[in-house]
Amino acid sequence: MAKMRVAQVSRAGGPFELVERDIPEPGPGQVRIRVHACGVCHSDSVVKEGHFPGIVFPRVPGHEAVGQVDKLGAGVTGFRTGQRVGVGWNGGYCGRCNFCRRGDFFACTGPHEITGVTTDGGFAEYMLALENAVALVPDELTAVEAGPLMCAGITTFNALRNSGARGSDLVAVLGLGGLGHLGVQFAAKMGFRAVGIARGKDKEPLARQLGAWHYIDSQAQDPAAELQKLGGAKVILATVTAGDAMSAAMGGLAPNGTFLVLGTAESIQVSPGMLLRGRKSVKGWYSGTAIDSQDTLAFSVLTGVRSMNEEYPLDRVNEAYERMMSGKARFRAVLNIGK
Ligand SMILES: [Zn+2]
Ligand SMILES: [Zn+2]
């Protein structure tokens, strides 16, 4: 039987191990993908550290996977071999539960999957995916370029386009890491007055280069007060994972503004008075489904939005993961699994 290399985690808190496995056969409704690249995301830590309830080890993480359809399982009609495709966090949904019937596929309570969490993901030469989890990837993007758009990209793009902000509205992006550096680009290209907020004056040139109209150094300035000086933000896109940084920025919302939480902080402090006086809201955003990924990729091709990536071969996955977790990656670590 033909073999493949995968990077698996065997126990909670254990390292990634490079092992050989049989190349899996696609089951009914599944496509097999020859993976060419896969981004490394902060959410991979729920697998690596064993934080996801009921996780089964060994597990191959990776939910920013891009490659080529290699083989079709029984009943797959929407794809053909050779097509370039990608898979994100949403690993497929039932289509029959009440949430799916209302079009809220992200909230599926029937049989559903999370790529690289409940199924083996893209830190591998081959992976399987349910047909409704697969997005087409346009020729204009390389696999390494498209990878981070499958989670960091779709999450920021889809949150912003559903945020209610309109052209010229003030939209702040808190954090300039893997998600934030894409968030600023999307916000600027959608026609918002994009404000970058990060720690240190040295990040300002980067924020401007990404399209920020204004920059706030959260170490030297009070981000909430600075946003209020600009009239208040219609939306604050919180991409950081520090709850105190989120709480410090929340006061910068304009009346009717929305604080959109994307980073998985432990907790945040919210002032009920601020919310009710200004009719403001705090909400989370789930990345999206395969068609949202396709829209993210199409928008990125149209407008030139790109992730800035550090590339690593599959056998340096531990280093790539440490770089991402340390917050030092500039700005997304991507495994180039090539041919
Ligand atoms: Zn992710
Ligand atoms: Zn469902």
**Ligand 2 midpoint to CA 121 (Å):** 21
**Ligand 2 midpoint to CA 131 (Å):** 14
pLDDT number for residue 339: 62
**Ligand 1 midpoint to CA 64 (Å):** 7
Give the number of whichever ligand sits closest to the CA of residue 115: 1
**Ligand 2 midpoint to CA 309 (Å):** 34
- Please name which of 214, 217, 213, 212 lies closest in space to residue 200, comparing C-alpha atoms: 217
Q: pLDDT (tens digit, 9 = 90+) per residue, 282-327? A: 999 999 999 999 999 999 999 999 999 999 999 999 999 999 999 8
**Ligand 2 midpoint to CA 91 (Å):** 12
pLDDT number for residue 338: 83
Token code pair at residue 125: 């030469």
Q: Which residues contact 94 (CB under 8 A, 6 or more apart)?
A: 100, 108, 110, 111, 112
Angle, nearest 10°, between helix axes 290-303 and 152-161?
Answer: 90
pLDDT number for residue 327: 87
**Ligand 2 midpoint to CA 92 (Å):** 9
The pairing of strands 281-284 and 253-261 is: parallel
**Ligand 1 midpoint to CA 130 (Å):** 18
Query: CB of 86 within 8 A of CB of 135?
Result: yes
pLDDT number for residue 154: 98
pLDDT number for residue 91: 98
Low-confidence ranges of the chain (pLDDT < 70): 339
Alpha helix (H) residue ranges in the chain: 45-48, 98-101, 143-146, 152-161, 180-189, 204-209, 223-229, 243-250, 272-277, 290-303, 317-326
